[in-house]
Every structure is written in C-alpha cells, then in structure tokens.
Amino acid sequence: MNAETDHGLRSTAAIAGHPIHPLLVVFPIAFLIGAFLSDLAFYGTSDSFWARVSEWLVGAGLVGGAVAAVAGFIDFIASERIRSLSIVWYHFLGNAVALVLSAISLYLRTSGEAVTVTGTELVLSILVVLIFLVTGWLGGELVFRHGVGRAPLGP
C-alpha cells in the first residue's frame, strides 16, 4: 500500500467524518434496478400495475440520484487528489449518463396516455443497470483500493 491509501482521502461531504455519498447511492441504485425488475414483471404479466411501479421507481431513482450526485460532486470538486484518479472520471461520467437515460425513460413513461412499458423503456432500464454494474465496481475501487472517503488510519 502507498501512503495515500494508508491514510485515505477524506470525504468533504461528510457528517461527523462519515461520508454522505456512499450512504445515499444505495437508494437510486435500488430504485432503478427495481424499475428494471418491474419492467420485466410488466412484460411477464401485461399488468399496468407494474408499469406504474416502474414509473414511480424511475422518478424516485432520479431524485435520489440527484441528491447522491451532489454529495459525490462535492467530494469530486473539493479534492484535486480525488480528481487526479482516472477511474473517478469514468465513475462520475457513467453515473451522469445513467441519470440522463433515466430522465429520458421517465419522460417517455409520463408523456403517453397508456400505462405501459415500451421496448424503448425496457432497453433504457437495461442500459442503466449495465452502467451501474460498471460504475458500482469503479466506486468500490475508489473506496477500497484508493481510499476515497475513508478516514485516515492511525494517528
């Protein structure tokens, strides 16, 4: 381990030294993966209930994602050492793309009169989940390999 990893890169967006971003990201991830699953349930049953569930989950995922993004952006912008890590850029931009795709999905879901899940909306859900697989892995790399958001070890 190098000195940077041994001591961690303290999070700027924190409460009592505990980083906020990792706390918040679980909600939009759960909501948007849940939207994908309810899209699949709609395709399996044709029950409009599942289309409505997906619509609400995408909306909640966008709100939660925006809040998590603010906390992550504070850490990103406040530390040159964090910005200097190449994978932080992929994590940042990948999650931004996932939120843009989710916004497009929500627009499509709310602009029609019928309560349904179209093929386009299902594809958008699949893309968001695939992006989260990559950006979640990168987020883990940032924390566990590079010490981003970890409290310094020892004195």
At residue 151, the pLDDT reads 66
pLDDT digits (tens, 9 = 90+) for 41-83: 999 999 999 999 999 999 999 999 999 999 999 999 988 888 9
pTM passes above 0.75 = yes
* Composition of the chain by helix, strand, coil, percent to 5: 75, 5, 20
Residue closest to 35 by CA, chosen among 52, 57, 51:
57
The pLDDT of 113-122, averaged and rounded, is 93
Is the pLDDT confidence value at 91 over 60? yes
The crossing angle, in degrees rounded to 10, of helices 48-78 and 21-45 is 160
The structure tokens listed for 1 are 């381990």
d(CA 63, CA 148): 24
Mean pLDDT of the chain: 90
Which amino acid is residue 42, in one-letter code?
F
